[in-house]
Chain A
Amino acid sequence: MRYVKWSLIAALVLFVVGFLHYTLPGRDIVRVTSTETRRIDFGENSIFWASADVGTAANPTRDVRFINAVRPNGKVIVYRNEDTGWGWPPYFKLDSSNLQAEADDIKSTPEAPKWVVITHYGWRSEFLTIYPNAVALRPAIGPDERLIPWLNVVILAVLAGLVFWVWRMLAQFHERVIEPAWIRFGNWRDDMRNRFFR
């Protein structure tokens, strides 16, 4: 029984951490090599894709913009560039076309690299054919610019605060509503017992 309990807790923690890791913004320093648009037929992996451009129709198949890039260590990374629109995750990204134009504008070659900081969320997985979604990009100072995720620090602190607050509210509800109800119920039960089973 103890193993079941700890397995469930571990699964829950893993899910929450994974969810946050997928959803919160991350930043990479990369060099954009090219951009392209491919048609994607969404299958089992459809949950890992965002939405069609805001205002356009949602079809089971559509063209998706991609940004191909290289990391300073020489490994490649491919981003998708999709609107999240009014859906999840709440980035409210409506400007995929503009971002694609920006990425096109800053393309560079290995001989004359232009490093950029790409903000993104999501994971790259070759097994699921999923890509992180690029949200914004800006020129980097250099390939070894130090990035401190202040926004994530703030978001996680606010989330922790909200969890604490919900806990406080539940404690207050328990103390002021549930416990008195139990006491009233106990009194009523004793009352009945005294009346009928003397």
Chain B
Amino acid sequence: MLAFLKLAVFLAVALTVVFLTVSAYSRSVRRERLEEEWDEDPKGDAAARDAFIEDGMRDYEQGLRRRLIWLVYIIPTLLILLLIYFTNYS
């Protein structure tokens, strides 16, 4: 039981680190893309640029892509369940 808890705690910590890193990366990539999109075809001054980017980031925060990052937790857990099944019950 203790060994299982150790695995669960370590996995939770490790996956949380991955989750936060991937979130930051994904946000950064999205912001960069928005900046490039604006700079290719500017439609106003610096304030309009900021507004455009913040608007795009708000869309991102509610979008599907950001929610897909939860797969960081889901995929390893599913893999472990599959491994337990295939190693021991087949």
For A91, the chain B residues whose CB sits under 8 A away are 83, 87
Interchain CB contact under 8 A, A92 and B87: yes
The answer to whether A92 touches B80 (Cβ under 8 A) is yes
Interface of B is mostly: helix
State whether A172 touches B29 (Cβ < 8 A): yes
Q: Which residues of A contact B22 (CB under 8 A)?
A: 169
| A39 touches B (CB below 8 Å) | no
Q: Which residue of B lies closest to A138 (CB)?
A: B90
For A18-53 the 0/1 string (1 means CB < 8 A from B) is 000000000000000000000000000000000100
- Which of A51, A93, A95, A173 makes the CB contact (< 8 A) with B3? A51
Show 30 A/B contacts (Cβ-Cβ < 8 Å), sorted by A: A51-B3, A54-B3, A85-B3, A86-B3, A86-B6, A86-B7, A87-B3, A87-B7, A90-B80, A90-B83, A92-B80, A92-B83, A92-B87, A92-B88, A93-B88, A94-B84, A94-B88, A95-B88, A98-B88, A135-B87, A169-B21, A169-B22, A169-B25, A172-B25, A172-B28, A173-B25, A173-B28, A176-B28, A176-B31, A176-B32
What mask results when residues 1 to 45 of chain B are scored 1 for a CB within 8 Å of chain A, else 0?
101101100000000000001100100110110000000000000
CA separation between A93 and B90, bound complex, in Å?
Answer: 12
List the A side residues contacting B21 at CB < 8 Å. 169
Kindly report which residue of chain A lies nearest to residue B7, judged by CB atoms. Answer: A86
User: Shortest beta-carbon distance, B3 to chain A, in Å?
Assistant: 4
Q: How far is the CA of A76 from the CA of B34 in the complex (A)?
A: 64
Q: How far is the CB of A28 from chain B (nearest CB, A)?
A: 17
Q: Which residues of A contact B32 (CB under 8 A)?
A: 172, 176
Q: Mark B50-88, 1 if CB is under 8 A from A, else 0.
A: 000000000000000000000000000000100110011
Given contacts A92-B83, A94-B84, A94-B87, 4 further A-B contacts (CB under 8 A): A54-B3, A90-B80, A168-B25, A173-B25
Across the interface, name the chain A residue whose C-beta is closest to B8: A86
What is the distance, in angstroms, from B76's C-beta to the closest C-beta of chain A?
Answer: 10
B interface footprint on A74-100 (CB within 8 Å = 1, 0 otherwise): 000000000001110011111100100
* Distance in angstroms between the alpha carbons of A135 and B4 in the assembled complex: 19
